[in-house]
Structures are given as structure tokens and as C-alpha cells.
Amino acid sequence: MEVNVKYRKDDGDKLIDPTLYRQLVGSLLYLTMTLLDISHAVQVVGQFVADPRCIHLSVVHHWAGYLDIGRSTTGWCIFLGDSLISWKCKKQQPVSKSSVETEYRGMFSACSEIT
């Protein structure tokens, strides 16, 4: 997603057939189970499923084109049996110096949630 761009529900022309938009967003929602770093972008485009516009469809087509600013993404899911009871996906505030530091930050966040 483009940085610092706000999307509104009534921007642009209405889609003639919103089926494609809904299918794409549904597929992206499914992908968020394994690709937690896209959760925010999918949540944003998911707000327009009821009445999608052309601009919203173009955002879905380019959902991976956001600027990477060097921060790592923390993501985890906590299950109780087969039920998801908590999850998180967030850009880490400090820029890590190594991938190990990134992993420790993620584990700390998950452990804090569990306790």
C-alpha cells in the first residue's frame, strides 16, 4: 500500500461487478494466516467489500507495493486447541541490527501476551 494515503468508501467510480474484488480480498484474507505482514493492508481493503470502488480494486492489485523502511514485522498466533484466541502483526519500532534480535523481540511480545 502507498504510504500516507487514506482510502475512503466513496472515492472513485463504483465497480460494475464487485465479485472480483470480493474474491481477491477473500483470497488475501486466507493468505494472512501464513503471511502476517500483509494483515494491515488486507484489513484496510477489507473495509470496502460492501461497496468497492475502482480505486479500491487498484489498491488490491498493488497490495505488495508499499515502501519497506527497514523495520521488521512481529507476527504470532496463539491457539487453544484448534481455536485462535489471540494474534498480532505489527511493524517493530526500533530497527534491529540482526535477524536474531528481531526474533527475540517477537518472542518477547508473544510471551508477554501469554502471561
Name the domain count of the chain.
2
Decide if 102 contacts 53 (C-beta within 8 A). Answer: no
By residue range, what is the domain housing residue 24?
Answer: 1-67
pTM: 0.50
Number of Cβ atoms within 10 Å of the Cβ of 4: 6
Q: Which helix (H) or strand (E) holds 110?
A: helix 99-114
pLDDT for position 64: 46
| pLDDT, position 114 | 85
User: Of 44, 75, 56, which is closest to residue 18 (Cα–Cα)?
Assistant: 56
pLDDT of residue 1: 65
Q: Please report, in tens digits, the pLDDT of each residue of the chain (115 residues total).
A: 666 778 888 888 888 888 988 988 888 888 887 777 777 788 888 888 888 888 888 888 876 444 445 566 777 788 889 888 888 877 777 776 777 887 888 888 888 888 8
Same domain, 62 and 80: no
Other beta carbons less than 10 A from residue 17's beta carbon: 8
Quick one: 86 and 33 in the same domain? no
Residues 38 and 90 in one domain: no
Statement to judge: residues 41 and 15 lie in one domain: yes
